[in-house]
């Protein structure tokens, strides 16, 4: 498991460089879903807190890092956000839900196929029929990696299918996820790809895309 505790105090500064449109994208998905919304790898609440504030819906946020969750806890005020410390690979909910999200490329913290498959299996089991799983990851390419390595922001480790983000308190590894791998993960657990966009404004996923924005759906039960 990637340890985020050393990065918690600096996370806001790093996440400020992310395209903030992702927050609005996830809020818009939450607007049409029944509560509770579940965020995997909730971190400091960057996405969960605006969802709760803008929709009034209950959010369950799961994260393995005590330090990231401590920051989130300070920010919640009286918003209906429930934080749970744990491994997202152990996802298990009391009741199936309508929407599970995993923003900010957090799925890229999973290294092995077994972990990725387990995560998707847990998500599929935790969704209601018709429920959705939404996530985003970098659309990796050798050019993207080379450019960011030149800037000194990452170290490229192609032999492990990985980039290491170089933050001041240590390295954060991200393992590439290909399009076919994600389509396979969706299929093998019985979900269906609803959409793959190249950005948070539903841009097409094409050669220009630097982000893969995914929506998958659990098939609805056939009408009785």
Q: How far apart are CA 81 and CA 194, in angstroms?
A: 27
Count of residues touching ligand SAM (by CB under 6 A) = 21
Kindly tell me which residue out of 37, 42, 52, 191 binds ligand SAM, with binding defined by CB under 6 A: 42
Residues in the chain: 224
Kindly tell me which residue out of 2, 71, 125, 166 binds ligand SAM, with binding defined by CB under 6 A: 2
24 lies in the binding site for ligand SAM (CB under 6 A): no
User: Quick one: 89 or 193, whose CB is closer to ligand SAM?
Assistant: 89
131 lies in the binding site for ligand SAM (CB under 6 A): no
Q: How far apart are CA 42 and CA 64, in angstroms?
A: 9
User: Quick one: 87 or 207, whose CB is closer to ligand SAM?
Assistant: 87
Q: How far apart are CA 66 and CA 109, in angstroms?
A: 17
Shortest spacing between CB 16 and ligand SAM, in angstroms? 11
Q: Which helix (H) or strand (E) holds 201?
A: none
Q: Which of residues 76-115 bind ligand SAM (CB under 6 A)?
A: 87-89, 103-104, 106, 109
User: Quick one: 163 or 204, whose CB is closer to ligand SAM?
Assistant: 163
- Sequence-ordered list of residues with C-beta below 8 angstroms from that of 46, at least 6 positions apart, any chain: 15, 23, 103, 104
Q: How far apart are CA 45 and CA 22, in angstroms?
A: 13
Q: How far apart are CA 214 and CA 97, in angstroms?
A: 18
211 lies in the binding site for ligand SAM (CB under 6 A): no
**Which residues contact ligand SAM by CB under 6 A?**
1-2, 4, 15, 41-43, 46-47, 62-65, 68, 87-89, 103-104, 106, 109
């Amino acid at each position: 498991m990637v340890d985020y505790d050393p990065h918690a105090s600096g996370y806001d500064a790093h996440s400020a460089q992310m395209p903030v449109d992702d927050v609005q994208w996830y809020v818009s998905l939450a607007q049409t879903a029944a509560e509770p919304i579940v965020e995997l790898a909730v971190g400091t609440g960057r996405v969960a807190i605006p969802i709760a504030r803008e929709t009034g819906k209950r959010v369950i946020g799961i994260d393995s890092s005590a330090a990231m969750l401590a920051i989130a806890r300070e920010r919640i005020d009286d918003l209906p956000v429930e934080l749970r410390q744990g491994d997202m690979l152990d996802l298990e909910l009391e009741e199936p839900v309508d929407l599970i999200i995993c923003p900010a490329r957090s799925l890229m913290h999973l290294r092995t196929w077994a972990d990725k498959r387990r995560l998707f299996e847990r998500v599929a089991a935790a969704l209601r029929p018709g429920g959705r799983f939404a996530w985003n990851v970098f659309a990796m390419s050798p050019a993207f990696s080379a450019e960011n390595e030149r800037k000194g922001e990452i170290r490229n480790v192609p032999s492990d299918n990985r980039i290491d983000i170089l933050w001041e308190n240590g390295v954060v590894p991200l393992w590439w996820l290909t399009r076919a791998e994600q389509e396979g993960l969706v299929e093998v657990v019985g979900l269906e790809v609803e959409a793959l966009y190249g950005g948070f404004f539903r841009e097409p996923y094409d050669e220009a895309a630097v982000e893969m924005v995914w929506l998958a759906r659990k098939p609805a039960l056939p009408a009785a």
